[in-house]
Structure 1
Amino acid sequence: MSLNYDLIALDVDGTLLTDDHVLTKAIRESVHEAANRGAQIVLCTGRGPSGALPVLKELGLSGTVITHNGAATINADDHSVVHQFDMVPEHLLRFIQYCRENGIHFDLNTAFEMMVESMTPEVEAMYGHFQAKPSIHDFRLGLPSGLVKFTVFGTKDQMDVVQTEWSGWPKQLHSIRSGDFFIDVHHIEANKGKALQQLAAIKGIDRSRILAIGNYHNDITMLQFAGMGIAMGNSPEEVKLAANAVALSNSEDGVARALYEHAWS
């Protein structure tokens, strides 16, 4: 059997993991088989390194992780930054003010650190699901440098309203829905597809030799860049339309079936 792709980019939440944030035995085995056949496995996630690296470890792998929706690419072996897209802190002030005025929880992220102004039990439980441990800061004293992602969290209805209102704002930064309960804000050029393109160039891998699997709007650029882009069965219709194929859902080990069907022959 021959390997059809040299690099396999995998989203984490809603793709590799079930909705209960579990990595199943079938998924682990299929990803291991792809790696053993010679494919480079790259996690490509909206999570920061603190949430992404434990998943890579649970898979028993090392290498490169694309984090913060493409805003920071990290070498998992030595925790060095391969590349990151820094935001201009002043561009975030309007977003922060909006969140304060409307009671929307937000966090600020450098490549490796997550910072919040306050925590509630509900918010703390949410971060626990993603293995994230934010520190509390007073941003009124000034914003740190090296910021790569600003994230807001709330109910689906809240995020629907935020998404609609922010869509009309000037495009100094890019906001994207990364889940029903989350919206992420990045540098205007930062996305998973761009980060995957940069990594492929560094590794000398043609896009035709890349397979990508994802499930949400923030995965579309990655699915479109890859030679084979596969949307999960639990994806919104817009994501499925951007893909070359549609897998089973994340509750049906969709990644495993997709890898066995497409990754080698």
Structure 2
Amino acid sequence: MTFRLIALDVDGTLLNDEHELTPRVRDAVRAAAAGGAEIVLCTGRGSNSALPVLDSLGLEGTLVTHNGACIVESKSRKALRESVIEANAIGKYLAYCRESGVHFDMNTAFDLYVESMTDEIAGMYERLLVKPILWEQSRGVPEGLLKVSIFAEKEALDRMENEWASWEHELQTVRSGDYFFDVQHKEATKGAALAHLASQRGVRPEEVLAIGNYYNDIGMIRFAGLGVAMANSPDPVKEAADETTVSNNEDGVAVVLEEKVIRPANGGAVR
């Protein structure tokens, strides 16, 4: 099977645990693109944090950001599709975070807003190539809100997730990492955004390859004709996948692309 569209998660998948793009992974992604496949980064990151990753690959194109709440065209830096949160739906989530002293940020297509910041939080944003904008609580929420991301220790997020399980939710809540939890529109998922792109391009699901490592990747992994989970994925993600590869610290994306895309196109050789 020739894969016409290749969807790649970023953190924990494309990048290693040091947030690095290794030469082997970069070369494999570029080789797949040169062979005719469209590379689509599908990430929980915001657009301004994801675009530099695409730039580091030396590619242009379309990205799925904010866990599917936004589709962005890299060359124009234009949002093509957005799933906006109603301001009155997000209030109880923000109130919980404020009362619990849990850090959160509010994301529009290209900007990220915070009400406060510590040195630890600043370091996290620096690693993700993000420059937060300070926002006064009295102003409500930013216009065009797509996602609220919560950052805390794993134990605090586990506790919060358990408490929220009894809530009635107008919005979707999704764990996007051990230290990250996201709140967004119910219809905003990586899987739905990927299905939208595939339909626009006339690409059948069986012509889609998706690689991811966390709960927010399950939708796109299930949608794709071949969905691959990284070895560093939680068990439910592996169970949703067709196959599992080695970890992000072992160039798992390159391993998959070399085997499934590059070797078949080159008659069995990796060039």
The TM-score, its normalising length taken from structure 1, stands at: 0.98
Partner SS, residue 12 of structure 1: coil
Amino acid at match of 1:71: A
Whether the 8 Å contact between 1:211 and 1:263 is mirrored in structure 2 is no
Residues 1:72 and 2:48 are matched in the alignment: no
Measure the CA separation in 1 of the matches of 2:105 and 2:235: 29
Distance 1:34 1:197 in 2: 20
State the shift of 1:263 in Å.
2.1
1:42-101 C-alpha deviation (Å, 9 max, x unpaired) = 000000011100000000000000000000000001011111100101111101110111
Alignment length (residue pairs):
263
Moved >6 Å (runs of 4+): none
Is residue 98 of structure 1 aligned with residue 96 of structure 2?
yes
What amino acid is the match of 2:41? L
1:135 corresponds to which of 94, 117, 133: 133
> Once the two structures are aligned, what percentage of the paired residues are identical?
48
1:176-195 equivalences in 2 (<5 Å): 176-195=174-193
C-alpha separation in 2, matches of 1:143 and 1:18: 34
CA contact (8 A) 1:71 1:149 kept: yes
Work out whether residues 106 and 142 of structure 2, in 8 Å CA contact, stay in contact via their aligned partners in 1. no
Structure 2 partner of 1:243: 241
> Residue 57 of structure 1 aligns with which residue?
55
Q: CA deviation at 1:139?
A: 2.3
| Selected match of 1:173 from 165, 171, 174 | 171
Structure 2 residue aligned with 1:262? 260
Q: State the match for 1:151 in structure 2.
A: 149
Distance in 2 (alpha carbons) for counterparts of 1:226 and 1:260: 18
CA shift, 1:144, in A, is: 2.1
Matched, 1:233 2:269: no
**Structure 1: how far apart are the matches of 2:51 and 2:192?**
21
Unaligned stretches of 5+ residues in structure 1? none
**Contact 1:229 1:245 (C-alpha < 8 Å) held by counterparts:** yes
Match for 1:78: what amino acid? S
Q: Which residue of 2 aligns with 1:16?
A: 14
